[in-house]
Amino acid sequence: MKKYLIPDEWRIIEDNFDAENHLASESIFSLGNGKMGQRANFEESYSGPSLQGNYVAGVYYPDKTRVGWWKNGYPEYFAKVLNAPNWVGIDVLIDGEKLDLYTCKVDRFLRVLNMREGSLTREFQVTLPSGQCLRARILRFMSMIHTETALIRYEIEPINFSGNIEYHPYIDGDVKNEDANYDEQFWNIHQVGSKQNYGYVFAETKKTSFYCGFGMKSQLSINGENSSLLPKVVSSEKKIAHHYTFELGKGQVAIIDKYVAVTSSLNHEISDLEKATETAVNAVYEIGFDQMYLQHKKKWAEKWAHSDIVIKGDVKAQQAIRFNIFQLNQTYTGEDERLNVGPKGFTGEKYGGTTYWDTEAYCIPFFLMTSPSQVTRQLLMYRYKHLSKAIENAEKLGFTKGAALYPMVTANGEECHNEWEITFEEIHRNGAIAFAIHNYLRHTGDYSYLFDYGIEVLVAIARFWSQRTTFSEDKGKYVILGVTGPNEYENNVNNNWYTNKLAQWCLKYAIECLDLLKLEAKNKFDALVIKLCLDVALELKHWQDVVENIYLPYNEKLEVIMQQDGFMDKEQMLASELPQSERPINQCWSWDRILRSNFIKQADTLQGIYLFEEEFSIDEIKRNFNFYEPRTVHESSLSPCIHAVLANKIGNVEKAYEMYMRTSRLDLDDYNSEVHEGLHITSMAGTWMSIVEGFGGKRVYDEKLYLSPSIPAAWDMYAFKITFKGVDLVVSVNQKTVSVYSQSDAPFEVCLYGQKYEIAPQSTVEVTR
């Protein structure tokens, strides 16, 4: 772990420059606005280790899958998240010497991510090799209003000298991905140019032909007065730069404001891209830096008004939850159904693709209760629009009759994950997509989505499960063979309980939804039967047979669910027995050794108990938790949050707090020594779940809201805001009482600790814990 960041309720603070931490900080201090984002690379030159990262939402490259063998159904490419042309750069020269913090003596340094305002600032004082000392202050933000734009203010002040200063704002298309094969570059640069104070680069991705425009304008001021100095234009085949050269006296201040626009053919016709880029730059340039920043801060205030969680008495816990919420809100805004929540968001290249099952299992619970329902509906529409691709994917694997297998990883609906044990075997992702529809309906009551779109997804998924099961004559049950569950430290296992349980539920739920459609909208039901060639009598009879007769492994002696067949054949060890020098095991052990061990990467059986908690008694949950959690190494970012929720359910608040701190500070404290590769964006929604569903005890049964709050001993109080069926609620918990404030203009019913309460309009109910 790394613990170099200063605890603060609203800010992430780094108060000392250490080049060893720079890659991690580039991830942690990243910015985004839903349409684009960037790692916290320095504006000025930096010759030390750095992962350059500028990303445009929805833009990817289909890199040829490199394997020494090929199998039918194997993905033909791996979708890379592309590093786009670098627009953040502003080289700074002092008497011809480049400012570079890697070679300077850094006398003072402060980097701050202001989560309340959505901005990144740096302040430093350095001494150059020449002995010249200067102070700098930089402010950067990516507009949440004008989402194709970003602004940078770069200020310097000579401390012990007067001299010649140069600012070189630029856009550079000569970029590559860190994981590029053979240092391949993925952009064709079509235009580089400048007119007056406007510079631009227009580029196209290879193979996928996404066109993107990058434009900039700058304004120089000295001692608070705008300068009329015109820049010298310096261009090359892939780069445009504007050079401002001027004299600056000791104690004087020079500021350059850089206005940037990033556009793409996802949002504009290619023929309009040049005009759209210049128009976007001019618009924010005319508004001005200060007014743009004011608008941006107001937008963030609106977001926090709906999604903030307050914790008193524990600054690290408070800082962590806000960091997680901040990253989620700047990664996905729900304005475009073609976009999704990438596992790294706008913070790194690793994993590739833009969509995993993480979205449905973790992110949808967050957006369901912190955003208008339309935001979650967009995520569901994303999957509906990809249904034909999911059916194609299943066909490649030999499935028929409209069965759908959604991809493990995708950028456009096609499977693009390049590990066979995941691509072919981690089929539980289908269940997460179906469950997300159920989750949406019970939180919103929007059955129009089910009747118009979701039912087709549920039928296609049910058809997949009905074909993926095999009837075992030996067991007299339906079995599912050769799978990988959420615990990816087990591959090619038989009868993973979580997978089998999800298959059973998906089939049962599809039957229920078809019955509901027939009852509520017979004409739509009849049209669906024709469209899908659905043999209602034959297919649904088989589905019901699987539901009633699927095999769910269970150990009678231990009275616990078995993760899969043969789990107890492994040597049974506890994670606490592992030497710290061998953690994380995925970085210290061979894959062979991991697969032969009983260690669990993340919640697997417990993931299923979390989803279907109402089917189990407290004693059953406790037995399974106490069996599986000690064997879990939590080397997936998705693991601690599920354990936090279940630990609260069984009354182990101390364990829940341990798991909450781990999931919430996973990246801030770099638990798994990998934050330099990017943040774990999708698991951050699990941090929110740890509080709201964990400590808050929030559940929805029969489309009604239930709360059973607990509180860690370290906290004086906490409060969270949720939206349920259009009603905004504020839940406040302290060591003695729980209160729920309803902002509705109508009475609202809530169940607290099993007791029903009706809250009057714009009123509060308070109960003793």
- Asked whether the beta carbons of 694 and 317 are under 8 A apart, the reply is no
Spatial distance between the Cα atoms of 231 and 363, rounded to a whole number of angstroms: 46
532 burial level (CB within 10 Å; 0-12, 13-18, 19+):
middle
3-state secondary structure 45-79: CCCCCCCCCEEECCCEEEEECCCCCCCCCCCCEEE
Q: Strand 77-81 and strand 704-707: pairing?
A: unpaired
Sheet strands (E) in 265-388: 309-312
488 is catalytic: yes
Q: d(Cα 552, Cα 549) in Å, to the nearest integer?
A: 9
Q: How far apart are CA 577 and CA 595, in angstroms?
A: 17
> 199, 262, 273, 182: which is closest to 236 by C-alpha?
199
CA 359 to each of CA 306, 420, 514: distance values in angstroms, whole numbers, following the listed order: 20, 21, 25
Residues making up the chain, counted from first to last: 769
Q: Which of 148, 166, 278, 488 is an active site residue? A: 488
What the block records as the tokens of 501 is 């349980």
Nearest CA among 553, 572, 579 for reference residue 631: 572
Residue 2: how many other CB atoms lie within 10 Å: 17
Strand partners, 226: 221
Mention every residue, 6+ apart, whose C-beta is less than 8 A from residue 444: 368, 373, 376, 725, 726
Query: What are 169's two structure tokens?
Result: 């704002």
**Stretch (H or E) spanning 204:** strand 198-205
> Which residues partner with 470 through β-bridges?
479
Tell me the sheet residues that pair with 696: none
Provide the CB-side half-sphere exposure for 408 (13 A, CA).
Answer: 22
Prior bond to 7 cis, omega within 30? no
Enzyme catalytic residues: 488
